[in-house]
Structure 1
Amino acid sequence: MEQRPNFLIILADDLGFSDLGCFGSEIHTPNIDQLAADGIRLLNHHTAAACSPTRAMIMTGTDNHLAGVGCMIEFKQNESGMKRWSGKAGHEGYMSQDVACIAEILSDQGYFTAMAGKWHLGMRPTHGPSARGFKRSFCVLPGCCNHFGWEPVLENGMAANPAGGRVLHCVDGKRFHIEPNKTEDPEGFYSSDTYTTALIDYLQGRSDEDKQKPFFGYLAFSAPHWPLQAPKTVRDLYKDTYLEGPEALRQRRLAKLIELGIIAPDVVPHHVVSPMVPEWDTFMPEEKFKSSRAMSAYAAMVHQMDVNVGRIIEFLNKSGDYENTFIILMSDNGAEGAAVEARPHMGDKIKAAIERYYDNSPENIGAWNSYTWLGPFWAQASTAPSRLMKMFPSEGGILVPAIVRAPKITPPLVPGGFSRALTTCMDLAPTILDMIGVTLPLNGEGSKVLFRGREVTPMRGKSWKGYLEQSGHADPEAGEQYAVHRSDEAIGWELHARAALRRGRWKIVHLEKTWGGVGQGDYGWELFDIISDPGETKDLSGEEPGQLKELLALWDRYVVECGIIWGEDAFAPGLSQEEASWLHDSQFEQQRTWMMTPAGESPCID
């Protein structure tokens, strides 16, 4: 009987398209580069525009709206978010019971399942990894927190900290206390190091019975998500690297992408868009210096993440598991470029908290008690030639670096090479199940299937197995781009009223005018030929009205199929908490409950 493969998903948080050495970066990533040399770089791999929707799609193999994360829980806390999404199915803000988690399925198939790192798919114990199929888990529940484990809110009478994310970890569903690493001790807590150690410990410490099973591992780094923090010894390696500014970096990255053959020499990059902050050239010298130090801290986070990728690969080699392990390494979305200080629901609070608790002096940026982020200029250096960045369904927000290393890859695919096949993060779960011969819950388009006594939504993703092994091609007449997804298949994206849909070479994008969108009102649809214009620089909606009309009809179908809150229905009242309590959630109330729960216990959350 053929040995079943192990599976390992390695997920970076807010990593831009060109932030790895093998994708054109100056950042030192030798371990990830070696993984790319052993595998294939996916040059056309797409996610959702932000973190928790992508994580839901990876875990379930279906659209984020069908999985319960049609909106991010953080965006439901303000008045507009409450009106738009509260009490509406598919927009709970956590992974719902309407889908099967890949860890649940693999556990039922005899796999040992373990995860370490960022969860961001629900705060309740019933929503955490232990409840969704992971036998062992060490996770941070919120979307972000201090990478050295420091929580000023605990030292200052429970006053608010910058963005609502607490240092809130749990082990196997029970509260775990992190000792703040205020000295940046290499033996103390640092997110990337500690999460990797946890996953290695879980795999190494399996019982004799569990060692007979194949494993599914999920290593979900919270790096390089803000706050930008990394060990000083690593930060110092990059302290002078970015003094020329983001445009110089952008041009260097573009040149390297061309040199590597990743993009064509004649690609027209989209221009940098930054309506929320002043232009870089207007910055004072000290502001430019501080900003360059933030980028240095970001690079150090990527560098240290690579060190830990090396650790997990070294473990797999020593244990004899590497050759039989299917590994994918990818980012959860494009680079984060938000001007956090300008966000209306958190900007003033962040400024006040930083002034009270943190030291953002230039020499301290990236330290345990600093709190900084990249901003739009550096982010769009990472996403170039694509348009915009995280939170947008333009290519800069959804086109991510990805590497696949599989036990069986068949020519013309070769180790160290590229794939230009259109793929999505929804494809991971179907691929994994296809590789072990499991069909549930793949059988059916639209109709629900039975799993663990409940009805769940079938997976919308497509398996890569036939493509990787050259035993199947979704659309042989259309070429490599459509080896996984047919050229006539429509793939949609929507998050917080920004939207896109692609069929073949054509893509429509719906953005507000503030960020370069068009239309009669504040929003409108643009049309791009994404093959000849990957930077989305030329709107063809006026020249190709027939294509626009067809794609808009497909968009309307996608809205219905996935239950998207759209158009006039966006602010219609949802079901009340009495009518449907499971559609309501409060991340911040639940965080407070967790914070008051003793270590080793689970909170009681109604």
Structure 2
Amino acid sequence: MAKRRSFKSLALALVAATSLSAAWAAPALAQSAATTQAPQAQGRPNFLVIVADDLGWSDLGAFGGEIRTPNLDALALKGVRFTGFHTAPTCSPTRSELLSGVDNHEAGLGSMAELLDASQRGHDGYEGFLNNRVASIAELLQAGGYHTLMAGKWHLGLTEQTSPAARGFDQSYALLQGLSNHFGADQTEAWGKAGERSTWREGLKEVHYPQGKYVDDQFADQLIGFLDQSAKAGDTKPFFAYLTFTGPHWPMQAPPEDIARYKGRYDAGYDVLKAQRLARQKELGLVPQDAVAHAHELAKPWDSLTPEEKALESRKMEIYAAMVDRLDQNVGRVITELKRSGRYDNTTIIFLADNGPEGNLITGPKGGNFNQLLKIDNSLSNLGKANSYVGYGPGWAEANAVPSRLVKSYPTEGGIRTTAFASGAGVQGGRINTANLSVTDIAPTLLQLAGLTQPASFNGHPILPHEGHGWSQLLAGKTDTVRSPEEALGYELFYRRGLRKGDWKIVYLPAAGADAAVYLKSGVGDNQWRLYNLARDPGETTDLSASEPAKLKELLADWDSYAKAKQVIALKKPAQP
């Protein structure tokens, strides 16, 4: 396996001028092959891509949830809701696929930078940042005449050379890590000494986050500011805006007025919520009427909890709902700005969650004595404030992923099937689409809608061709699918594996154990390949590996081909079940 090129050479490539090479192709449909200039801005759509962090598949009202999300619901119901949209199992691998249009093992996030194993370090595809084997969609659209804007979580590189400004964004305001305190309380010296201080950049400049301001409000403010500046300047370029919220990622924190709105709403527990959401999904036509939800695997039954435990769990979900509510409010503010400036009608909007809901038990930034050193207070009365630090746990996460199995970090449907919809310009609305879609489809879709094609090289070096499929015909209502039932889509993260082909899917979960890799110390797994038919069993409740051995063999061969092509590094010593 090839070693990665030196950081110096990579940095030079990333900060090079973002003009296209001679291989830049003209708009594929609108102009002749001999044309080499980018098309004029007139008539080309604007793009707004919105990413929610760790959102559950059923959280939005338009997807069966009870949380107040009127702005997102309005967009989703006017557009096309996707019930078969898939991402990587966690955030930075998904973001690498979204921006590059290729598999995370090729784009640099074969594993999350924070969790790279010694066996993975130094190998192509495991750099821990968006590498130069790919050109980001921002770079391609920027070179094609678009004004490129970004506000939110980046998680694709911590240095100036790997920041959004170095990867195609004209204007950017970004959290570089995967999470932060939602009120900026981690900007202090104490958090810095603990190695937990978040890093922020505006363009190439490192900046200090304004403590006390709620982070998703800040992201919306920044993007609205960028849009307002361009409108006042009379900018005639179409724009690509990338708005990546950190809500509702842990720690569970939200403005008190939003938390108060949900007081008592979840006292019946996560088992009841799960049943309610599944029933609502069936009413909305999002799942088959006979769909069966997968049973809880990570959480205790609600009725087994003590009154004190129930009170704490209910409060966590109240805060989580408030975070989703606040995210929706901020989406509404951005939409209002687009309408005010007269650009809404010509804007294509794509919304997605970056992975399934977070099911780990989070009780502090690092555990041990860090809570005391950082003055973390996780008492019931203090939860949701800036100096609290919890996740909402596996019970709510499994409920919010209903009917799917498991949660974030797993290649089961609960980890990779996420909320997604498209709305606005070029979208025939009022539909539900069930096609098997991938986050790698977004980059080629935007390029296709812009009337551009991907070059073979960028900044003087070859780049990998997009693996995803453009959705222009699907969005226009001219087709219901973009990939053949024979096309296999592979997934791997933390040595957990999955592969989808048509309606069939295989899953392999290594067993947890003391001798396992760090992220396999706990969880679900038995070192066995399982086979499911998602058309009949969206909850992955019935293993068909014994009754369908030929299909299992076929998909295992497909997995081997995928792993070889992507140079997936295998777990050398699986834990014992």
TM-score category of the 2 structures, normalised to the smaller one: 0.7 to 0.9
1:107 deviates by 0.6
Q: Tell me which residue corresponds to 1:557.
A: 561
Matches within 5 A, 1:518-537: 518=526, 523-537=527-541
Matches within 5 A, 1:52-201: 52-76=92-116, 81=117, 83-151=118-186, 154-155=189-190, 158-160=192-194, 165-181=196-212, 189-201=213-225
Unaligned residue ranges in structure 1 (runs of 5+): 182-188, 442-448, 474-479, 572-606
| TM-score, scaled to structure 1 | 0.83
Distance 2:189 2:300 in 1: 35
8 Å CA contact 1:84–1:570 kept in 2: the answer is no
Distance 2:427 2:177 in 1: 37
What whole-Å deviation, never above 9, does each CA across 1:152-200 have from its counterpart, x for those lacking one?
75147x442xxx542321100211112321xxxxxxx211100000001
Distance 2:572 2:309 in 1: 43
Q: Partner letter of residue 301 of structure 1?
A: M
1:329/1:165 Cα in 2 relative to 1: closer, same or farther (>3 Å)? farther
SS in structure 1 at match of 2:320: helix
Distance 2:539 2:308 in 1: 32
Q: Partner letter of residue 380 of structure 1?
A: E
Matches within 5 A, 1:415-494: 415-441=429-455, 449-471=456-478, 473=479, 480=480, 483-494=481-492
Q: Tell me which residue corresponds to 1:184.
A: none
1:451 deviates by 1.3
Matches within 5 A, 1:536-575: 536-566=540-570, 568=572
Bigger Cα displacement from structure 2, 31-40 vs 147-156: 147-156
Q: Tell me which residue corresponds to 1:16.
A: 56
Q: Tell me which residue corresponds to 1:589.
A: none
SS in structure 1 at match of 2:289: coil
Q: Partner letter of residue 331 of structure 2?
A: V
Q: Tell me which residue corresponds to 1:446.
A: none
Q: Partner letter of residue 467 of structure 2?
A: R
Q: Tell me which residue corresponds to 1:408.
A: 426
1:75 deviates by 0.6
Q: Tell me which residue corresponds to 2:90.
A: 50
User: What is the total number of aligned residue pairs between the two structures?
Assistant: 524
1:560 deviates by 1.6
Q: Tell me which residue corresponds to 2:345.
A: 323
Asked if 1:366 corresponds to 2:384, the answer is yes
Distance 1:97 1:570 in 2: 32
Q: Partner letter of residue 227 of structure 2?
A: L
8 Å CA contact 1:11–1:220 kept in 2: the answer is yes
SS in structure 1 at match of 2:377: coil
Q: Tell me which residue corresponds to 2:410.
A: 392
Distance 2:323 2:270 in 1: 18
SS in structure 2 at match of 1:507: strand
SS in structure 2 at match of 1:205: helix
1:354 deviates by 2.3
Q: Tell me which residue corresponds to 2:295.
A: 271
What whole-Å deviation, never above 9, does each CA across 1:118-147 have from its counterpart, x for those lacking one?
000000111000000001000111100100
8 Å CA contact 1:112–1:210 kept in 2: the answer is no
| TM-score, scaled to structure 2 | 0.88
Bigger Cα displacement from structure 2, 169-178 vs 190-199: 169-178
Q: Tell me which residue corresponds to 1:333.
A: 355
Distance 2:187 2:122 in 1: 33
Distance 2:380 2:524 in 1: 33
8 Å CA contact 2:362–2:390 kept in 1: the answer is no
Distance 2:62 2:347 in 1: 21
SS in structure 1 at match of 2:562: helix
1:504 deviates by 0.5
Q: Tell me which residue corresponds to 1:312.
A: 334
Q: Tell me which residue corresponds to 1:350.
A: 367
1:284 deviates by 2.4
Q: Tell me which residue corresponds to 2:32.
A: none
Distance 1:467 1:372 in 2: 40
Distance 2:49 2:503 in 1: 29
Distance 1:329 1:152 in 2: 30
Q: Partner letter of residue 468 of structure 2?
A: G
What whole-Å deviation, never above 9, does each CA across 1:469-509 have from its counterpart, x for those lacking one?
245x5xxxxxx4xx111111000110010010011111000
1:92 deviates by 1.1
Distance 1:159 1:401 in 2: 37
Q: Tell me which residue corresponds to 1:186.
A: none
1:58 deviates by 0.6
Asked if 1:293 corresponds to 2:343, the answer is no
Distance 1:553 1:99 in 2: 27
8 Å CA contact 2:48–2:242 kept in 1: the answer is yes
1:569 deviates by 9.9
1:567 deviates by 5.1
RMSD: 1.9
Distance 1:423 1:499 in 2: 18
What whole-Å deviation, never above 9, does each CA across 1:194-237 have from its counterpart, x for those lacking one?
00000010111127777110000000000000001100011011
8 Å CA contact 2:81–2:432 kept in 1: the answer is yes
Distance 2:545 2:50 in 1: 38
Distance 1:72 1:513 in 2: 20
2:280 alignment partner, one of 256, 259, 263: 256
Q: Tell me which residue corresponds to 1:220.
A: 244
SS in structure 2 at match of 1:363: coil
Q: Partner letter of residue 494 of structure 2?
A: H
